[in-house]
Amino acid sequence: MARMTWGDRLYTGQSGINFVGRKKLWFSISAVLLLISIGALVFRGLNLGIEFTGGAVFAVPSAACSVPDARDAAEGVAEGDVIVTETGAGIVRVQTGPLTPAATQDVINVLAQACDVGPNTITSQVVGPTWGAEITSKGIQALIVFLILVTLFLSIYFEWRFAVAALAALAHDIIITVGVYALTGLPVTPATLIGFLTILGYSLYDTVVVFDKIREDTKGITGQSVMTYAEVANRSVNQVLVRSINTSITSLLPVLAIIIVGAGLLGAGTLLDLAVALAIGMFIGVYSSLFVATPLAVILKSRQEDIRALDRRVASRRAGQARRGDGDAEGPEPGDDGAAAVTAGSASANAGTRAQPKRQPRSKRGKK
């Protein structure tokens, strides 16, 4: 007989994680992460890129100077903070605040002298803050349209309770992702903004997969009195857990490749801005689908009168079985894992079968 894998045990209910029963623990973890993220946004703020604040960018190819040398040379001419990075292939990137045309030419001259290159090889780009403001406005409009369409889709395909849970998970994901940027000081560029919008779609996809499994398993659930809605939902989440993990790994591998190869080896800074946002958002999106969206949807669903009546019937049945000495048929304790719910349901179903008297063969009926 083949040995069952961890995924097989999850699917059959022999093992699992109590996603629904331990909702207070998951919500506490999320609350801490949200508080840290909001605190970082309030007290540290975001490190907005030049596209949002305005300024000038100089690219020095085949530079023979170090990053400190280029910074010292630019600071002698430009006012304000000067950010210098080495993007790979010997290219030094110098970012300054807004400059006049004369100051721009002065920066090019000092960089050419410090890095031992010709002034005509240095490229410059001046960006105004209005362009970043326009990008931000378009991003907000896209976000509003996205949320409206998501709400309509989930309300029609599932119901409004699932839509509320999914939107709460989306807000959870974006706040924590932005908080990571505020906490670490990573620059926020238009590519980062695109990454923020992209992770909303990924998080929604994973949430819909989980919700669809719950909807499939809970059809006609009020017609029985063996398992509660929360127990069936918890079993459903455990059954799609392996799929969520596999999907996340296969999605993160190319993103990590972009971070390591594209940004680390090739020096593509724009790729790094996008990839980091995607990596953080994907990880948080999987967490929220399992530990935030599902328990919240079950809480909202459990307030329905028919689901409450189901819970009362299950509790009454298990109490009656316990009084008759059927201890194994009692419901799972709050601290038990997801397998306990399935085991309790199976035991209840077996215990609830009536013992019928054995009928005599027809040839012997009426004979004494």
Give residue 195's pLDDT. 82
- Spatial separation of the C-alpha atoms in residues 116 and 227, rounded to whole Å: 76
Per residue in 104-137, pLDDT (tens digit) is 888 888 888 888 888 888 888 887 767 667 777 8
| Residues β-bridged to residue 321 | none
Q: Indicate whether 5 pLDDT > 70.
A: no
Residue 146, judged by CB atoms within 10 A of its CB (0-12, 13-18, 19+), counts as middle
C-alpha 95 chain-centroid distance: 33
**Does this model's pTM top 0.75?**
no
Pick the closest to residue 173 from 138, 218, 209, 206 (CA basis).
206
Q: 191 CB contacts (<8 Å, ≥6 apart)?
A: 270, 271, 273, 274, 277
Domains of the chain (ranges, CATH numbers)? 18-47+131-301 (1.20.1640.10), 55-127 (3.30.70.3400)
Q: Indicate whether 25 pLDDT > 90.
A: yes
Q: Are strands 47-48 and 187-188 parallel, antiparallel or unpaired?
A: parallel
- Spatial separation of the C-alpha atoms in residues 71 and 94, rounded to whole Å: 8
Per residue in 217-242, pLDDT (tens digit) is 998 888 888 899 999 999 888 888 87
Give residue 267's pLDDT. 52
Q: Indicate whether 331 pLDDT > 80.
A: no
- Spatial separation of the C-alpha atoms in residues 291 and 169, rounded to whole Å: 9
Of 244 and 63, the one with more pLDDT: 244
Percent of the chain exceeding pLDDT 70 equals 79
Q: How many residues does the chain have?
A: 368
Per residue in 194-220, pLDDT (tens digit) is 888 888 888 888 898 899 999 999 988
DSSP string, 160-201: HHHHHHHHHHHHHHHHHHHHHHHHHT-EE-HHHHHHHHHHHH
Pick the closest to residue 178 from 45, 365, 352 (CA basis).
45
Contact in structure between 94 and 74 (CB atoms under 8 Å): yes
Confidence band, pLDDT 50/70/90 cuts, at residue 73: confident
Per residue in 250-290, pLDDT (tens digit) is 888 888 877 776 555 555 555 677 778 888 888 888 899 88
Q: Is the dihedral of CA 10, 14, 15, 17 positive or negative?
A: positive
